[in-house]
Amino acid sequence: MTNVNLHLVVPDPLAVPSPERNEPIMEIFGLAKRYGKNEVLRGVDLTLRPGRVTAVVGPNGSGKTTLIKALLGLVRPDSGQIRFNGTELAPNDIAYRARIGYMPQAPRFPDHLTGREILALLRDLRDASPESLDRSLLEAFRLDPELDKPLRTLSGGTRQKLNAVAAFLFRPDLVILDEPTAGLDPVASVALKDKVAARVADGVAGLLTSHIVSELEVLADDVVFLMEGQVRFAGSVTELKDAGDGRLDRAIVQLMTEKE
Amino acid sequence: MMDVVSNRSSALRLLSYELRDVLRGRWAIAYAAFFLLVTDAFFRFSGGGEQVVLSLVNVVLILIPLVSLVFGISYLYNAREFTELMLAQPVRRRDLFLALYGGLVLPLSLGFVAGVALPFAWHGAAAEHAGPLVRLLASGVLLTATFLALAILLATRFDDRVKGLGAALFVWLGLAVLYDGLVLLVAYTFSAYPLETPMLVMTALNPISLARVSLLLSMDIAALLGYTGAAFEQVFGGGFGSVLAFGTLLVWVLIPLALAFRRFSRKDF
């Protein structure tokens, strides 16, 4: 607190926030989206803080994917506000996405490009220098020998590894992980979980969806339970566990089967 | 200013990767090889360059719209997840749209132009028949651009690929096959009335008819024009008519492209 230099730094809206300042990396208020008559999101609030992983759980069709897509600008919300590092996002903002690592579920890459070309493309789009990259997952997965093969020849698990590497490569402030370990072998799955934990300890925020309860228990700090487009529960994993007599799976099942 | 420069390079960067993907897929190469073989065969079996252009007209008018629609729409559906991944990066939708479109238009157009022009060159007919050849190539490129724009429009409109492909085949069947029959039916039914203006309008409403008219008007073969073309020639004669037809063909590129861009910009992926 005695560091004078801190006060001289001009605030940059996209800069990595220091972990001791607990200001949210992403905040959303009253997010709503409907497709025709189908109200997919009905006023969702969510706060993602540095150094914490928030798990979004809920039954299929509860709006999890639409929520993630709205945060990334893939889906245009009908109403609501999204703030990234304190700045409200306009509909055509793209710069903030350079600060997000996104790991989509079951990715498909262009058939005839190689993994190395995908990573180079992502780097070109951000003008990131080769020295600034975080290659640790590439090494942990021993992915290098696969990087020069056409992507159509790679297995689903290998493509998922590439997907994970890409999400962490640019040292993001926020990682969005959609079913991250689906399709990964146990070794890769552990390596990925270790990576998430390490980055979160450094102050990165995480948003996670998963149906694997043990994964939620290991990775998540907070849980947001989404049902029919509304947040039915928001709190820490510990709170939720206590509600289920110390068992997270039981608590989640209870939430899913609960009447309104 | 900086903004414009960085956007353009973003679209160009995406385009360079997409071109690599399309070219390695070998479809564009096979497409070029097909035109190469067909054009060469026409030279061997039908003699003069003028006749080769004439024989190619129907191949161009039927095949280019079909291949552009089907190849374009399948490519776009296959690239759907990748499109989503790209839009989660710091990339403007406009840049990705231009890269997707350019990555399809360039290989297919160049494949067609090379496949037709090279046999003309090695049979020594390119200089003598430069006029009709250039018109043929220009119509082919404009049709490629039009039907790839329609492909993006349909792929963005329908999330379901079976529906999208079905709609594409329906569009092709309507414009390439059924339309002229419809025009003929109208001409026959209302033959007691002056039909020049309605015929011109009906021709302008179909890019394939337009391309046919503009090509045949330039080749002095009124017998092959069909009713739509006859009306065109009657009103406009040679030069001005084909300029007008090419201009309208260009409008036919721009309108579906603008509609596709609008939809792509607003779409929920």
Q: Hey, what are B54's tokens?
A: 């004439």
Cβ–Cβ gap B268/A74 under 8 Å = yes
3-state secondary structure of A31: strand
The DSSP string of B7-67 is HHHHHHHHHHHHHHHHHHT-HHHHHHHHHHHHHHHHHHHH-SHHHHHHHHHHHHHHHHHHH
Cβ–Cβ gap A92/B92 under 8 Å = yes
Q: For residue B13, which residues of chain A lie inside 8 Å, CB to CB?
A: 121, 124-125
Is the minimum CB–CB distance between A243 and chain B shorter than 8 Å? no
Is the minimum CB–CB distance between A195 and chain B shorter than 8 Å? no
The arithmetic mean of pLDDT across residues B139-162, rounded, is 95
- Reported ipTM: 0.86
Distances (CA, A) of A121 to A114, A208, B97, B136: 11, 25, 16, 37
Which of B17, B80, B268 is the closest to A121 by Cβ?
B17
Q: Hey, what are B105's tokens?
A: 């238009």
According to the model, what pLDDT value does residue A2 have?
43
Task: Give the gap in angstroms from C-alpha A7 to the nearest C-alpha of chain B.
Answer: 30
Q: Please tell me the distance from the alpha carbon of residue A199 to that of residue A206, in angstroms, as a whole number.
A: 9
Which of A74, A109, A112 is the closest to B88 by Cβ?
A74
3-state secondary structure of A79: strand
Q: Hey, what are B5's tokens?
A: 């420069």
According to the model, what pLDDT value does residue B201 have?
84
Which of B21, B86, B89 is the closest to A111 by Cβ?
B21
> How deeply is B220 buried, as exposed, middle or buried, from its count of CB atoms within 10 A (0-12, 13-18, 19+)?
exposed
Question: Number of residue pairs across A and B with CB atoms under 8 Å?
Answer: 81
3-state secondary structure of A19: coil
Is the minimum CB–CB distance between A131 and chain B shorter than 8 Å? no
Which of A92, A104, A126 is the closest to B84 by Cβ?
A104
Q: Please tell me the distance from the alpha carbon of residue B168 to that of residue A165, in angstroms, as a whole number.
A: 38
According to the model, what pLDDT value does residue A16 have?
53
Cβ–Cβ gap A121/B84 under 8 Å = no
pLDDT at B2 > cutoff 60? no
Cβ–Cβ gap B87/A74 under 8 Å = yes
A12-16, B2-6, B191-195, B259-263: which has the minimum mean pLDDT?
A: B2-6
A210-224, B56-70, B105-119: which has the minimum mean pLDDT?
A: A210-224
According to the model, what pLDDT value does residue B215 have?
83
Task: Give the gap in angstroms from C-alpha A70 to the nearest C-alpha of chain B.
Answer: 9
Helix extents (H) in chain A: 5-8, 64-72, 115-126, 136-140, 156-169, 186-201, 213-219, 237-243, 248-257
Length of chain A: 260
Task: Give the gap in angstroms from C-alpha B202 to the nearest C-alpha of chain A.
Answer: 36
**Mean pLDDT in each 10-residue stretch from start to end of chain A (260 residues)?**
42 51 88 92 94 92 91 93 92 91 90 94 89 90 93 92 95 94 91 94 93 87 91 88 83 76
Is the minimum CB–CB distance between A2 and chain B shorter than 8 Å? no
pLDDT tens-digit profile of B236-246? 556 677 777 78
Bridge partner residues of A103 (DSSP): A177
Cβ–Cβ gap A97/B88 under 8 Å = yes
Strands A87-88 and A26-35, sheet pairing? unpaired
Cβ–Cβ gap A121/B14 under 8 Å = yes
A18-22, B71-75, B132-136, B193-197: which has the minimum mean pLDDT?
A: A18-22
According to the model, what pLDDT value does residue A190 have?
93
Cβ–Cβ gap B92/A94 under 8 Å = yes
Q: Please tell me the distance from the alpha carbon of residue A105 to that of residue A219, in angstroms, as a whole number.
A: 17
Q: For residue B18, which residues of chain A lie inside 8 Å, CB to CB?
A: 110
According to the model, what pLDDT value does residue A14 have?
54
Mutate to test the interface with A, among B9, B75, B268 (most CBs of A within 10 A): B268
Which of B13, B21, B80 is the closest to A112 by Cβ?
B21
Which of B17, B78, B91 is the closest to A113 by Cβ?
B17
Q: B interface toward A at CB cutoff 8 Å?
A: 10, 13-14, 17-18, 20-22, 24-25, 78-82, 84-92, 266, 268-269
Nearest to B220 by CA among B209, B233, B236, B211: B233
Please check whether residue A166 is in contact with residue A101, taking contact to mean a CB–CB distance below 8 angstroms: yes
Q: Which residue of A has its CA nearest to B17?
A: A121
Task: Give the gap in angstroms from C-alpha B141 to the nearest C-alpha of chain A.
Answer: 25
According to the model, what pLDDT value does residue B3 have?
45
Is the minimum CB–CB distance between A159 and chain B shorter than 8 Å? no
Residue A146's identity, in one-letter code, is E
Q: Hey, what are A110's tokens?
A: 């262009």
Which of A76, A108, A117 is the closest to B82 by Cβ?
A108
Neighbouring CB atoms inside 10 A of A90's CB total 7
Task: Give the gap in angstroms from C-alpha A94 to the nearest C-alpha of chain B.
Answer: 5
pLDDT tier for residue B223 given thresholds of 50, 70 and 90: low
The arithmetic mean of pLDDT across residues B28-50, rounded, is 90
According to the model, what pLDDT value does residue B239 have?
66
